[in-house]
Amino acid sequence: MMQLESQALELDILSPTKTTIMVIGGAEDKVHGKEILQTFFYRAGGVNGKIAIIPSASREPAVQGDKYRNVFIGMGAVNIKIFDIRERYQGEDPIWLEYLEDCTGVFMTGGDQLRLCSLLAETSLMDNIRSKALEGKIALAGTSAGAAVMGYHMIAGGGSGSSPNRSLVDMTNGLAILPDLIVDQHFHNRNRMARLLSAIATHPDKVGIGIDEDTCALFEGENQIQVMGKGTVTIIDPVEMSYTNATKVGVESPLSLSNLRVNILCHGDGYDLYSHTMKPGLSETITPLDS
C-alpha cells in the first residue's frame, strides 16, 4: 500500500483536477496493487464517494457488476449502485438519474462496445454522465469496451496483424465523451497497431490512442493525458500527416500514410493534445538518439 501511495503521489493522481476521465486498456489488475482501480476510487471520493457501475457491455452484467463492486468494497467504498441496464428504455429511468445527482464516480466495464452504445447512446442517462464528466463533477472510467466507446468515432471491431487497410477496421459512432479521439484497447497485447492506423487514415482529423492491458490514459485538465500502469499508450497523431491514399484505393488494398507522429508513452509520461507534444515522466531521463 505504501508503494501504491508513493506512485499515486508521483503521478499526482490524488489532487483534484478539472476533469478525471480514465480510459483503460482492459485486463486491469484487480487482485494485487490494483493501482488503476485505486486511482479511480480516490478520484471518485474514496470512502466518501458514491459510485455507479455500468456493466451493460457485458453479456453477464450481474456477474461483471458484482466483480467490480467487490473490488471497490474491498477498498472501503460503502455507497455503490450497479446500473444493470439491459434495454434502451431503462436509460430514461428516473431512478438512475436520481442516483446520479450526487454521484461522484461512474465506472463502465468491459464486454461488447456495440452493445454498450446501443443501450446508452443518446439516452438521458448518458447525456447526464457525459456532461458531469466534462464539467469535472464526476470521475468517469471505462475499461476495454468501456474505453472503446469514448470517442465520437468508435472502433466496433476488426482484425489484427495485417498491414493497414480499410477492411481491417469496422467503424461506427461512439458516445462522444472524448470526441477528438479514436480509442483502441488491448493494444499491443492483440497486435492492433494496423487497425488503429487504418482508422486514422479514414478519420485524419482524430488522434488515435492505443492502450495496452493494465494501462490507463488519464485525461485531466485542458487536453492533458497522463499514463499509468504496466504497459504503454500509443498515440498516433496525424496533425502533420501530409498524405494518405485511403480515398484512392480499394477497401482491401494496403494504405500509405506519410508524416504521422507516433509517440509511445509509459507510466508517468504525459501528452499535450493542444501542443501535440510528449511530456516525459519526471523520474525518467531522456537519452539522445545519437548517444
pLDDT digits (tens, 9 = 90+) for 133-142: 999 999 999 9
Give residue 226's pLDDT. Answer: 95
At 282 the pLDDT is: 63
What is the reported pLDDT for 132? 97
pLDDT of residue 18: 62
Percentage of the residues of the chain whose pLDDT score is greater than 90: 88
Residues 36/46/108/135 CA torsion (nearest 10 deg): -110
pLDDT, tens digit (0-9, with 9 covering 90-100), for 28-45: 999 999 999 999 999 999
Active site residues: 144, 186, 213
Topology, domain 2-268: Rossmann fold (3.40.50)
Separation between Cα atoms, residue 25 and residue 191, nearest integer Å: 13
Q: What single-letter DSSP state applies at residue 283?
A: T
CA–CA gap between residue 212 and residue 266 (Å, rounded): 10
Reported as a single tens digit per residue, the pLDDT across 92-122 is 999 999 999 999 999 999 999 999 999 999 9
Q: Is residue 229 predicted with pLDDT exceeding 50?
A: yes
Cell numbers representing residue 283 in the block = 523520474
Taking the C-alpha atoms of residue 186 and residue 214, their distance in angstroms, rounded to an integer, is: 9
